[in-house]
């Protein structure tokens, strides 16, 4: 699953539905109005983001999927802002966004104080569109569907997906063998017959089936009824209970939520259907697609307001599931394993530090740096230059110890949680993958010269310059080892007598010792 970016970049999706602009006015509330028993909100900031079907589009494009979007807006400033915002998320074709005169672009204004929603004001016209407008939507939808790997119908009940439009689109998809996913708002699910998957939440499923769906048993019964009505598989999003998939054939699949902090669930359904659709378009099995969508939902509900999930966030969340946070034994791992450990530790609220270098022929200076690094964080990852990297940096005679030996020795030092190798000349790409909280380097550097410092600072982390122990150097150790033993001097205590087999081997090894 962790190679999803390469897979998603090759996929194309068509999103058809109700385009919405979600507006947020953030303010400060400190008193009640003297005019009425309502809070007075002092405006501090405002922002607008894609909502409804437009949020589905934004999520897909942010993950690298090419998106054809079809929907209706007014001929107003909100339309211009929406299209401009969509273009900022990635590869999106907005030629199917149809402007309609004398109707506003649907806009929801939420007023928040201390991150709590105080009131929502909706600007919209949900009266039926005339047949000429429906014909334009159908024509644009057919054009969007043709090159698409997957089709998403995002129904917010604002009028774009009328019965006639739904029948035309689903019929066209069936004829072209296109898989259709629907985020439904209708209580009559029969209008979606022909779709592959419906993604209701608990409230929507109960409204459509008039059956409770709190427990697994109740959810199974309600989903069974929904399948009878719609003929589709049901992916039920269950808030704190995660999500469940009820296929037409086979046993249900239940996934527990991965969300740790929940601030705002608005737009989470958009993220779920976007990531699920992208995963299916990339030919991932349904279980893997569900895991991707589940992790994405866990990320966006921790954000305030309608939001998208970024590739880095999704990668980190998925990687954290692959490792146990209890690991802290200096083991040698590959890059994927290091990333998995890093985010597993992050979920446990542990700070993660990284120190890097060649560490060829370990000496007291190395030990001092590692100890200082370990004191700055809860978990320390040591990043070592591979043999190929060391040769490029220090010459063909280095390293003295191969990468596996260096990793084993470093990993045995107290305070080292894991060891990872990198093959590049610098650890920049590795640091981009690890996103550490703390980066440690020797004080012979200045912070502006430390590779990856900007990556760490950008996420609120810090760079630590460790004190150096004078007089210690791998190069000096090699020079000392190469010096011939003075003739006529006594051997150090415990040395083998001259001419012994051991001495001969040692001499041979010395003769073979490469120059630094």
Structural domains in the chain?
4-319 (3.40.1190.20), 331-472 (3.40.50.620)
Residue 395 φ/ψ region, left for φ over 0, alpha for ψ in the -120 to 50 degree band, beta for the rest: left
Range name among 172-176, 256-260, 418-422 with the lowest pLDDT average: 256-260
- What does the angle CA 311 – CA 282 – CA 343 come to, to the nearest 5 degrees? 30
User: Given pLDDT bands bounded at 50, 70 and 90, which one contains residue 516?
Assistant: very low
3-state SS assignment for residue 12? strand
Query: When comparing pLDDT for 336 and 165, which is higher?
Result: 165
pLDDT in tens, 106-129: 999 999 987 788 999 999 999 999
Q: Please tell me the distance from the alpha carbon of residue 396 to that of residue 278, in angstroms, as a whole number.
A: 47
Residue 96's CB is within 10 A of a number of other CB atoms, namely 21
State how far the Cα of 258 lies from the Cα of 314, in Å rounded to an integer: 12
Q: Give the tens place of pLDDT for each residue, 333-342.
A: 999 889 989 9
Task: Give the separation between CA 458 and CA 454, rounded to whole angstroms.
Answer: 6
Average per-residue pLDDT for the chain: 89
Q: What is the pLDDT of residue 511?
A: 33
Residue-wise pLDDT tens digits, 212-248: 999 999 999 999 999 999 999 999 999 888 999 999 9
Going by the annotation, the residues of the binding site for ATP are 201-204
The pLDDT confidence band at residue 488, using thresholds 50, 70 and 90, is: low
Residues 318, 311: contact at Cβ < 8 Å? no
Cα–Cα distances (Å) from 370 to 126, 129, 455, in that order, read 64, 68, 21
Average the pLDDT over 358-371 and give the result: 89
DSSP state at residue 241: G
Which residues are catalytically annotated? 270
* Contact assessment for residue 417 and residue 342, using Cβ atoms and an 8 Å cutoff: no
35 backbone dihedrals φ, ψ, rounded to 5°: -90, -30
Q: Please name which of 82, 66, 62 lies closest in space to residue 15, comparing C-alpha atoms.
A: 66
DSSP per residue over 301-369, as a string?
TTSSSS----HHHHHHHHHHTTS-TT--S-EEE-HHHHHHHHHHHHHTT--EEEEEE---S--HHHHHH
Supply 42's token pair.
Answer: 């002092």
**In the chain, what's the furthest Cα-to-Cα distance?**
108
Kindly report which listed range (225-229, 442-446, 463-467) carries the lowest average pLDDT score. 442-446
Q: Is the pLDDT of residue 474 over 70?
A: no
Nearest to 478 by CA among 392, 369, 361: 361
User: Residues at the annotated binding site?
Assistant: 201-204
Q: How confident is the model at residue 143 (pLDDT cuts 50, 70, 90)?
A: very high
Q: Token digits for 66?
A: 């090419």
CA nearest to 274, candidates 178, 151, 145, 187: 151
Alpha helices in 191-334 (DSSP H): 202-209, 216-230, 268-281, 286-300, 311-320
How far apart are the C-alpha atoms of 105 and 306, rounded to whole Å? 17
CA distance 273 to 279: 10
Q: Are 431 and 455 in contact (CB under 8 A)?
A: yes
Least confident of 15-29, 132-146, 252-266, 483-497: 483-497
pTM: 0.77
């Amino acid at each position: 699953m962790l190679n999803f970016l390469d897979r998603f970049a090759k996929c194309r999706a068509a999103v058809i539905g109700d385009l919405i602009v979600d507006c947020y006015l953030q303010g400060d509330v400190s008193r009640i109005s003297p005019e009425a028993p309502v809070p007075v909100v002092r405006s501090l900031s405002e922002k607008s983001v894609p909502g409804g079907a437009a949020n589905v589009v934004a999520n897909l494009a942010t993950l690298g999927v090419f998106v054809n979007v079809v929907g209706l807006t007014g001929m107003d400033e909100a339309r211009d802002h929406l299209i401009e915002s969509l273009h900022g998320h990635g590869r999106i074709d907005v030629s199917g966004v149809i402007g309609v005169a004398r109707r506003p672009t649907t806009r929801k204004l939420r007023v928040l104080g201390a991150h709590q929603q105080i009131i929502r004001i909706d600007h919209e016209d949900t009266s039926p569109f005339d047949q000429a407008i429906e014909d334009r939507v159908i024509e644009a939808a057919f054009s969007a569907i043709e090159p698409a790997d997957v089709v998403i119908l995002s129904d917010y009940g604002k009028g774009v997906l009328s019965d006639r439009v739904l029948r035309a689109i689903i019929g066209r998809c069936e004829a072209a063998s296109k898989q259709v996913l629907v985020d439904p708002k209708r209580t009559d699910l029969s209008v979606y017959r022909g779709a592959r998957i419906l993604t209701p939440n608990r409230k929507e499923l109960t409204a459509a089936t008039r059956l409770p769906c709190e427990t697994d048993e109740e959810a199974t019964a309600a989903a069974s009824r929904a399948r009878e009505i719609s003929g589709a598989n049901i992916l039920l999003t269950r808030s704190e209970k995660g999500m469940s998939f009820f296929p037409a054939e086979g046993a249900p699949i239940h996934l527990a939520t991965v969300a740790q902090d929940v601030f705002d669930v608005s737009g989470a359904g958009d993220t779920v259907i976007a990531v699920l659709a992208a995963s299916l378009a990339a030919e991932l099995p349904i279980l893997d697609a569900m895991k991707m969508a589940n992790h994405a939902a866990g990320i966006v509900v921790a954000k305030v307001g309608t939001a998208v999930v970024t590739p880095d966030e999704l990668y980190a969340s998925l990687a954290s599931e692959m490792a146990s946070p209890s690991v802290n034994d200096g083991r040698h791992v590959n890059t994927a394993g290091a990333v998995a450990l890093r985010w597993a530790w992050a979920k446990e609220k542990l700070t993660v530090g990284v120190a890097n270098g060649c560490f060829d022929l370990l000496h007291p200076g190395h030990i001092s740096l590692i100890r200082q690094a370990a004191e700055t964080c809860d978990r320390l990852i040591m990043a070592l230059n591979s043999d190929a990297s060391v040769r490029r940096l220090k010459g063909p005679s280095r390293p003295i110890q191969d990468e596996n030996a260096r990793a084993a020795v470093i990993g045995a030092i107290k305070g080292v949680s894991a060891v990872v190798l990198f093959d590049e000349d610098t650890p920049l790409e590795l640091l981009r993958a690890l996103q550490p909280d703390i980066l440690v380097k020797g004080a012979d550097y200045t912070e502006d010269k430390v590779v990856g410092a900007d990556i760490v600072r950008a996420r609120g982390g810090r760079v630590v310059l460790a004190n150096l122990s004078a007089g210690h150097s791998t190069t000096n150790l090699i020079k000392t080892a190469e010096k011939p033993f003075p003739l006529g001097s006594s051997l150090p205590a415990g040395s083998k007598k001259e001419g012994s087999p051991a001495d001969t081997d040692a001499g041979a090894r010395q003769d073979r010792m490469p120059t630094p």
